[in-house]
Amino acid sequence: MAQKAFASSTDLAEKEQSLEVLADGVYALTAEGDPNVGAIEGEDFLVCFEAMATPVAARQWLARLRSHTNKPVRFLVLSHYHAVRVLGASAFDADVIVAHDNTRTLIAERGHQDWASELARMPRLFKEPESIPGLTWPTATFSDRFTIDLGGDRGECVLAYCGRGHTDGDIVAWLPRQRILFAGDLVEAQAALYTGDAYHRDWSASTLDKVASLGAETLVGGRGAVTHGGSGVANAIAQTRHFLHVMLREVDSVRERGGTLKQAFDATHAALVDRYGGWPIFEHCLPFNVSRLWDELSGIDRPRIWTAERDREVWDQLQD
């Protein structure tokens, strides 16, 4: 059988972007399974959520946003350290770039390797990669909660840490008044999960419990369409949890019977493919996901750093 093309390296067809107004002054840009971004209007400023992969890609998003509002970007919120979420930051000209404490640590520790890895995995997202001026550094970080008063009668935007999940530094942006949640990659709606840097056990239990406890009625996940309504939000969270539970069950059972990583991959693929195989980036993510989960269950607490070379090794070992 011909080997599958590496990650999303041959997924080069442009995705259609849709700008949705979720409430007065609250915007989401989704793109058929490509990373989602958002923006929230304060009285005289903007909070932008996620920065896209390059300044050129970010400027296209800002150009669309500018047909709704001309307010300057005071806060740029980075949900986590992954390159496709952060490297477009310079386009926003933000006063403050906010992230979790652990995100700053991860950028310092593995930001360059992650950049090279993601560029090779998802070249389409890196529009004009030479426009990236360097790593993105948060200018304000926090451990638990960071509240932005939106001014006027707009309420507040609460940035919250819900525990270890997709990485150990994911944060969500929560609008209690509008009950809208920007969940980053902690929740995906009809898109496959990437768990190559994850803490599966925490994510599938206490972290998603905390996300669910917010009681969102609109949810913008990391990828996929905006989810509307309390039951839709519950479904998106349940789907994310189910994906993680199946992975945990399959990889654990192969390990328990003394099997190999390749067998764990095959078993996990077989268990997930009927329900999730058609969703964006499923085939791309799974080798990296199973490799990380195998490590986690072997007692390796901190995810090993993905490099462009290690990506290819794991891919060649598992995805054939």
Residues of this chain that bind Zn ion (CB under 5 A)? 82, 185
Q: For 176-254, where are the E strands, in sequence order?
A: 180-184, 218-221, 227-228
Confirm if 182 and 220 have CB atoms less than 8 A apart. Answer: yes
- Tokens describing residue 26: 């609250």
CA 21 from centroid of its chain's CA atoms: 21
> Nearer to Zn ion by C-beta: 82 or 241?
82
Confirm if 227 and 221 have CB atoms less than 8 A apart. Answer: yes
Q: How far is the CB of 232 from Zn ion (least distance, A)?
A: 22
Residue nearest to Zn ion (CB): 82
> Nearer to Zn ion by C-beta: 154 or 223?
223
The 10 Å Cβ neighbour count of residue 77 is: 28
Q: How far is the CB of 151 from Zn ion (least distance, A)?
A: 31
219-to-188, 195, 226 alpha-carbon distances in Å: 10, 20, 6
Q: How far is the CB of 222 from Zn ion (least distance, A)?
A: 6
- Tokens describing residue 315: 């891919």
Q: How far is the CB of 23 from Zn ion (least distance, A)?
A: 25
> Nearer to Zn ion by C-beta: 35 or 55?
35
Q: Which amino acid is at 253?
A: S
The secondary structure of residue 231, as a DSSP letter, is H
The long-range contacts involving 21-27, CB below 8 angstroms and separated by at least 24 positions, are 21/68, 22/178, 22/180, 22/218, 22/220, 22/226, 23/175, 23/178, 23/180, 23/218, 25/69, 25/154, 26/175, 26/178, 26/180, 27/65, 27/68
> Nearer to Zn ion by C-beta: 119 or 254?
119
Q: How far is the CB of 183 from Zn ion (least distance, A)?
A: 12
Q: How far is the CB of 44 from Zn ion (least distance, A)?
A: 31
d(CA 39, CA 37): 7
> Nearer to Zn ion by C-beta: 168 or 185?
185
Q: How far is the CB of 67 from Zn ion (least distance, A)?
A: 28
> Nearer to Zn ion by C-beta: 154 or 292?
292
> Nearer to Zn ion by C-beta: 73 or 84?
84
